[in-house]
Structure formats: structure tokens, C-alpha cells
Chain A
């Protein structure tokens, strides 16, 4: 368990969270190397199917990062993401996947430090939860 290195996927929106991740990089803020970013235009374009696919096939954690409420580049996108999220967590609970393996957060383009914080916290939490049990099933 102590040498469990989680594999985590993060969907980051182009305007806020991806830019915030870039800023964290430019500022050389160090963080654990477990998170792999997929760039999307808006957090609201992340289909729940992607989350279910990732978690059911062994990915240890999924992050969805968007703009702060009220600041979505596409006006209302992140409101939808926020509404969709509890439903996705409920489905995960019902099919026996720990819902804490999915996290939604808001990171703005100016928040390099927040990005670092979210990544560091989430990796620590996933480490505590241990490897996704569905890994074994898949292999």
C-alpha cells in the first residue's frame, strides 16, 4: 500500500483549469506525478461515460476541473457540470465504486497554487483509498 502509485485522469477546461495548470508549471510548483490531463474546451463537455469508463477499467481517480461558478467562459457550462456531478457520484455508489474517486473542483487561470493543492490533496486521498479494486477484474 505504501508503494501504491495511483494513476489519475484529470479533465481540464481550456480557459481556466488548464491555464491554471500551466501557471502552476510556469511557477515550478511541484506536485506528485500521478495525474494525466486531458484538455477539453469546457468542463460541461465531459460526458459522464468517460468517468465511468475510466473508473470501471481501473483508473484510480478522476478529476474534473472547471472555471469557478459565474466565471465559465461559456456562461453556464460549469453549472451543468455541478449539477451532473452528484448524479455521477450516486451512480458510482450504487455500482460499488467509491465515489471519492471522482472529484469536481474549480481552478481559475490565475490559481496555479490552487491547482497544486487540488492535485496534491487528491493524490493523497486516492493513496489512502488504495488501488481501484476494478483493476484486478480488468486484468
Chain B
């Protein structure tokens, strides 16, 4: 009988921790809130500094998780509660009703085609729609549809029922209920990642006011070939290809009124997005408005140089004060102060602007209360002892990836493997 470990969060951190723990011989229960594992990395077009296609490098890991003899996936599931202590936690997982019998669903998509309800797609950051019965994205793992109960006409009003009629596999079950699964786990890993801050609260950046101001994660979806514009760089107001692009760093980060911390990855991803924009629209003029250009990792400085040299990206050391709609609601007028020689306030016009919002640790408040963990002043889960950076304040519970601190993919993967080591150490009773 192998020892069981519960991993909460199915993004790259949770996936890597699950794979390592599974390879090390533990029985892993990977719990993911959305219908598919993959997290934010699945939404990215490319990853810096190599510009690897994100889904290409992530997808095999997702499939390995699904195929792994030691990993049990609980998708569309949440942590309901935990009792007990290390080494015997009683973890209760709530598998939310998908209203689909997953043993019958083949992921064929016939139901999706016929569903009449359109809802903004979370995966596509609201840029296009999904149906009430849906697959979050084409490479979803597991490839099973889910019915969003709050939007489904049958479940809310007892009308429609088209999906059941067209499903040849007989997989639709409107009577399905949430299922509680109890797991006797020796360790728990928190890998709940981040969510992008709601920037409409920071009105000066014009999100929701200017049509042509988008968030960086929306921009990723626009760049992505499998995204809402099939990879064509188009600005929202008129669908035209932008000739000039602005990136605004630190929107809500390094800001005493919002989030004091630095989200760590934005300087690099903005550089990446400016390079990708240059590849999609040769000759496009991109400007990155930044405070400090944090290109601290392997190959990062060379990546920034490449953006400047080969794509003409202009780096302006300034924090824009205001973004406003351009003429006829198209384009963006950005007001900023030029530092250095001749420093004076300037307003410049751009066809489109991309905001790099603060990345907030998702679910930390919930994890903290359900698991009794301490969070720091910025909302990140603390470690018990600074010598043991991935140990939480509760023995047997470990934290990795963005839930512990803002970090990029390689650091997340390292932390994920490190919690596997720490969990294994504790479970085998090692140390003194």
C-alpha cells in the first residue's frame, strides 16, 4: 500500500509535483478546480526566453499525468476540508457535478455544437464565447465535457435538454450530484497558482474604458493560433492590425495602493509578447513602459537585447499616469512623464495597449483558512522556517509555485520537484 499525497492545483506546479511523486512511488491525488488540468501555462502562446510553444511543452506532461499509473485526477473538484494531522490527514475532496458520466463521454463535441447558451469563455479571457456545455480548450485533459450548471437552461429552468438528445454515448445526466471523496493522505501540497488582478479597479489604466486596452493574458490569447482571432493580431475596436503597441508594466504591482510586491514575470513576458507581435506584424512599433527591467534569468538579458536589436522594441523608463481612448474610441492615448534629458509630460498615441497586471496568489485565503496556514502581508503562503522555503507553517503541508511567491516556470518546476523531495523525506521518517 503506497502512501498517498494530495496535490491541490493542476497547473504546471501541481502537474510537476504529481509526476515526481508518482514516479517516486506515491499514490497522488491531483485536485483541479476547473474541468481540465493545465492552468495558466495552457493559455500562453509561447514561453520566454526560448519562445517554445507553451502548449507543445505542457501537453505531454498533462498526458503523462492522465496516463500515470500512480496519479488519480480529480478535475472540476475542490478541497472540501481537512481533518487530522501529519502523517494522517483526512482530506475531503468535492468532485463537483459535471452532469456528465465521464466513463461514457468521448469528448466528441456534438453536444457543444447544439447547445444554445453562449457564455464568455474563461480560457479565452472573455474575448470569445463558450457554451453552457463545454471543453475549456481543445487539448483539455481529461477530454470530457462539463455542464456549467449556472448557465444551463435544463438545470436552471427545466427547459432545452438538446445535449442529452444528441449525445450518442448517453453521457448526459442532469440528476448528477457533487460527490465527496475521502482520502487518507500523508502529505498535502498546495500548488494553487495565481490569478490576474482585476484591472478595471484601476481606472487610470483605461481597461473597460478604452476598447483597445487589453490585459497581457488576453494578448496571449490573441497571439495564439488556437485563440479567438486564430493568431491574427487584431485590435478589438475595429479588427485592424495595430501598427504601434504599448506595454504598461507594473499595473497594480509595486504600488502601495494596490500590491506592494513585484509579480516577477511581467518584464520578461512583455518582452516576449513584443517579439511575438513583431513576428506577427513585421514592422510594428512596440514600446515597453517599465520601472526596472527584471531580466534576471538564464538568457533573459540576451532576449531583451534581441527585442531591441531585431524587433526595434523601445524601452521607456516611465510609469504612465493615464490611458485614454483615442479618436472615435479607437487606439489609446498614453500620458507619461519622460525622465532623463528634457523630462516633461508627454501624450503619445498608440493603436493598442497591453496592461501587465499584478498577479495575485489564487486561493491562498481559502487554503489558508481550510488548512490553517499562515499568509504574509502580500497574501503569499509563508514557510515555517526560512531554511525550508517550501514547507508551510503546518507540518506535512507544502507549498510550491506562485502560491508561495511570484516566480516563472523554471522556478515553479524546481519548487514542485522540491516539495516532492520534502514530502518523501517526511513520509519516510527521515531527518532527526
The 0/1 profile, CB within 8 Å of B marked 1, for residues 15-32 of chain A is 000000000001110000
Determine the chain B residues whose CB is within 8 A of the CB of A28 once the complex forms: 51, 279
Question: Using an 8 Å CB-CB cutoff, how does the interface string of A91-112 with B read, 1 for contact, 0 for none?
Answer: 0000000000000000000000
Q: Which residues of A contact B238 (CB under 8 A)?
A: none
CB-CB under 8 A from B279, the residues of chain A are 28
| Nearest neighbor of B52 in chain A, beta-carbon distance | A26
Complex interface: chain B residues within 8 A of A26 (CB): 50-52
How far apart are the CA atoms of A27 and B279 in the complex, in Å? 13
CB distance from B245 to the nearest CB of A (A): 20
List residues 6-58 of chain A with CB under 8 A from any CB of chain B.
Answer: 26-28
> Which A residues between 66 and 111 are near B, CB-CB below 8 angstroms?
none
Give chain B nearest CB distance to A131 CB in angstroms: 34
Chain B interface size range: under 10
- Using CB atoms, name the residue of chain B closest to A26: B50
- 7 pairs, A vs B, C-beta closer than 8 Å: A26-B50, A26-B51, A26-B52, A27-B50, A27-B51, A28-B51, A28-B279
Min CB distance B303 to A, Å, is: 10
How many of A's residues come within 8 Å of B, CB to CB? 3
Q: How many angstroms from the CA of A27 to the CA of B48 in the assembled complex?
A: 11
Residue of A nearest to B310 (CB): A28
Residue of A nearest to B50 (CB): A26
Q: How far is the CA of A28 from the CA of B51 in the complex (A)?
A: 9
CB-defined contacts of B52 to chain A, threshold 8 Å? 26
In the assembled complex, the CB of A21 is this many whole angstroms from the nearest CB of chain B, namely 14
Tell me the minimal C-beta distance from B299 to chain A in angstroms: 10
**Interchain nearest-CB distance for A23 vs B (Å):** 8
Q: Which residues between 262 and 297 of chain B lie within 8 Å of chain A, taking CB atoms? A: 279
- Which 7 A-B pairs give the minimum distances between C-beta atoms? A26-B50, A26-B52, A28-B51, A26-B51, A27-B50, A27-B51, A28-B279
Give the distance in Å from the alpha carbon of A27 to the alpha carbon of B310 in the complex. Answer: 13
- Which residue from chain A places its CB closest to the CB of B49 in the assembled complex? A27
Chain A nearest CB, measured from B300 CB (Å): 14
Q: In whole angstroms, what is the CA distance A26 to B51 when docked? A: 7
What's the nearest-Cβ distance from chain B to residue A129, in Å?
32
Residue of B nearest to A27 (CB): B50
Could you tell me which residues of chain B, from 128 to 183, have a CB within 8 Å of some CB in chain A? Answer: none
A28 to B278, CA, bound (A): 13
List residues of chain B with CB within 8 A of the CB of A27: 50-51
| Minimum CB–CB distance for A58 against chain B, Å | 36
Q: How far is A26 from B46 in the complex, measured between Cα atoms in Å? A: 11
Within 8 A of A (CB), among B49-78: 50-52
Chain A residues within an 8 Å CB radius of B51: 26-28
Q: What residues of A have a CB within 8 angstroms of the CB of B50 in the complex? A: 26-27
> Whole-angstrom distance between the alpha carbons of A26 and B50 in the complex?
6
**Smallest CB separation, A57 vs chain B (Å):** 36
Q: Which residue of A lies closest to B279 (CB)?
A: A28
1/0 per position for B35-51, CB-CB distance to A under 8 A?
Answer: 00000000000000011
Q: Which residue of B lies closest to A23 (CB)?
A: B50
From A28, which residue of chain B is reached at the shortest CB distance?
B51
Determine how close the nearest CB of chain A comes to the CB of B365; give it in whole angstroms: 39
What distance in Å separates the Cβ of B280 from its nearest Cβ neighbour in chain A? 13
Kindly provide the distance from the CB of B311 to the nearest chain A CB, expressed in whole angstroms. Answer: 12
A39 to B50, CA, bound (A): 23
The CA of A120 and the CA of B401, in the complex, are separated in Å by 42
A106 CB, min distance to chain B CBs, angstroms: 22
CA distance A48 to B346 in the complex (A): 68
In the bound complex, CA of A27 to CA of B51 (Å): 7
In the bound assembly, the distance between CA atoms of A56 and B237 in angstroms comes to 61
A44 to B52, CA, bound (A): 31
A110 to chain B, nearest CB (A): 10
Query: Which A residue sits closest to B302, measured CB to CB?
Result: A27
- CB nearest neighbor in A for B275: A28
- Return A2 CB to nearest CB of chain B, in Å: 27
Complex CA gap A27/B275 in Å reads: 12
Minimum distance in angstroms from B304 CB to a CB of chain A: 15
Measured in the bound complex, the distance between the Cα atoms of B50 and A64 in whole Å is 26
- The residue in B50, B52, B279 that gathers the most chain A C-beta atoms within 10 A of its C-beta is B50
* Nearest CB of chain A from residue B47's CB, rounded to whole Å: 11
Bound CA–CA A32/B50 (angstroms): 21
Q: Mask for B77-114, Cβ within 8 A of A = 1, else 0?
A: 00000000000000000000000000000000000000
In the complex the two chains form, what is the Cα distance from A10 to B162 in whole Å?
Answer: 57
Q: How far is the CB of B315 from chain A (nearest CB, A)?
A: 21
Q: In the assembly, what is the distance between CA of A27 and CA of B50, in Å?
A: 6
Among residues of A, the one whose C-beta sits closest to the C-beta of B299 is: A27
Q: How far is the CB of B149 from chain A (nearest CB, A)?
A: 43
Least Cβ–Cβ distance between A78 and chain B, in angstroms: 27
Distance, CA A29 to CA B197, complexed state (A): 36
Q: B309 → chain A, closest Cβ, in Å?
A: 14
- C-alpha gap A56/B279 in the complex (Å): 41
Shortest distance from the beta carbon of A83 to any chain B beta carbon, whole Å: 36
In angstroms, Cα B51 to Cα A10, docked, is 26
**A61 to B209, alpha carbons, bound, how many Å?**
60
| Separation of A28 and B306 alpha carbons in the complex (Å) | 12
Complex CA distance for A83 and B50, rounded to whole angstroms: 36
Report the bound CA distance from A26 to B53 in whole Å: 9
